[in-house]
A and B are shown apart, each in its own frame.
Chain A
């Protein structure tokens, strides 16, 4: 038996250990990103999530100015923190529209009364169909949409205070 064959189990073991250490050190990114970045928002027409606000159609997003399309829900815990950051963005002149996933008007109203309301329009997506059409995999998620209605950036998870400069930059680039 020659040397190479005799040491091959040890080499295999080392390869396995290196692979394990590498994966433990850099865990897999479990976020699923939408492949629609750079493409127009798919056509949709959602009824109003609140009686006091208009609903949301895809055509509303091609408004000539960049906007944020925020996917949220009243039953989503991280959305509570995010909606405060969105109000900060609104105060800086950013246009924000919302899609409420699997939600009820009363619950949305309570959620906004308690946490503040940054939305110009809110569409109701009771069976996540528009969420799926957008390639979104959860709440909250946000899309930066340019003036022509093209998706320029997708943000998976809540927009944190520390993300604000980056989001403003994406909006600037979408002009």
Chain B
């Protein structure tokens, strides 16, 4: 009985919210009327990392700050700013961390070079195999 009462009380419990009491920003969950602009904004939002739910994009995240960032992106796209300019503006503030798009900086070189290296290893293995077969 005690357990049942506890269970019922827990059902009614409110989760502890770490969110504000203000509604989401205007453009947080609203599409731009211009489909072309909206497509540009969405492509950029997919590539910007959420500061709260790190690992999600701001397009996927339900965090309030992500909503405010979507609002910022849509507002600036609507004002005619290029996605690359908005990305650069954010990177000035948060570093390359904020963008999922790989850059050409030295830290990203292994990312670009690994496929080429793996391909080279594959070619080497196949060639060796063909040679041993031809000999045998």
The yes or no answer to B68 lying at the interface (CB within 8 A) is yes
Please give, as numbers and ranges, the residues of chain A lying within 8 Å of B92 by CB-CB distance.
35-36, 135
Q: Which of B24-40 contact A (CB under 8 A)?
A: 25
How many pairs of A and B residues are in contact by the CB < 8 Å rule?
65
* Contact in complex: B94, A75 (CB < 8 Å): no
Cα A32 to Cα B65 in complex, Å, equals 14
Q: How large is the interface on B (under 10, 10 to 19, 20 to 34, 35 or more residues)?
A: 20 to 34
User: Among the listed stretches B14-22, B103-111, B118-126, which one makes contact with chain A, having 4 or more residues with CB under 8 Å of it?
Assistant: B14-22
* Contact in complex: B93, A36 (CB < 8 Å): yes
| Residue ID in chain B nearest A125 by CB atoms | B68
Interface SS of chain A: loop
The yes or no answer to B72 lying at the interface (CB within 8 A) is yes
Cα A103 to Cα B21 in complex, Å, equals 7
* Contact in complex: B94, A35 (CB < 8 Å): yes
* Contact in complex: B64, A138 (CB < 8 Å): no
Cα A56 to Cα B46 in complex, Å, equals 33
Q: Tell me how far the C-beta of A145 lies from the nearest C-beta in chain B, rounded to whole angstroms.
A: 16
Cα A102 to Cα B17 in complex, Å, equals 14
| Residue ID in chain A nearest B69 by CB atoms | A132
The yes or no answer to A86 lying at the interface (CB within 8 A) is no
* Contact in complex: A127, B93 (CB < 8 Å): no
A137 and B94 contact, Cβ closer than 8 Å, known pairs A102-B64, A129-B68? yes
* Contact in complex: B22, A32 (CB < 8 Å): no
* Contact in complex: B54, A30 (CB < 8 Å): yes
> What are the interface flags for B89-120 relative to A under an 8 Å C-beta threshold, 1 for contact and 0 otherwise?
01111110110000000000000000000000
Cα A32 to Cα B90 in complex, Å, equals 13
* Contact in complex: A138, B22 (CB < 8 Å): no
Cα A45 to Cα B54 in complex, Å, equals 29
* Contact in complex: A134, B20 (CB < 8 Å): no
* Contact in complex: B93, A133 (CB < 8 Å): yes
| Residue ID in chain A nearest B49 by CB atoms | A32
The yes or no answer to A87 lying at the interface (CB within 8 A) is no
The yes or no answer to B52 lying at the interface (CB within 8 A) is yes
The yes or no answer to A104 lying at the interface (CB within 8 A) is yes
| Residue ID in chain A nearest B64 by CB atoms | A102
Q: Which of A13-61 contact B (CB under 8 A)?
A: 30, 32-36
- B17, B52, B71, B72: the one within 8 Å of A138 (CB): B52
Cα A153 to Cα B102 in complex, Å, equals 28
Please give, as numbers and ranges, the residues of chain B lying within 8 Å of A129 by CB-CB distance.
68, 72
Please give, as numbers and ranges, the residues of chain B lying within 8 Å of A104 by CB-CB distance.
21-22
Please give, as numbers and ranges, the residues of chain B lying within 8 Å of A88 by CB-CB distance.
none
New contact pairs (13) apart from A32-B95, A127-B71, A138-B65, CB-CB < 8 Å: A32-B51, A35-B93, A35-B94, A75-B21, A102-B21, A103-B20, A107-B21, A127-B68, A129-B68, A132-B65, A132-B90, A137-B65, A138-B51
Which B residues are within 8 Å of any A CB, using their own CB? Answer: 17-22, 25, 51-52, 54, 64-65, 68-69, 71-72, 90-95, 97-98
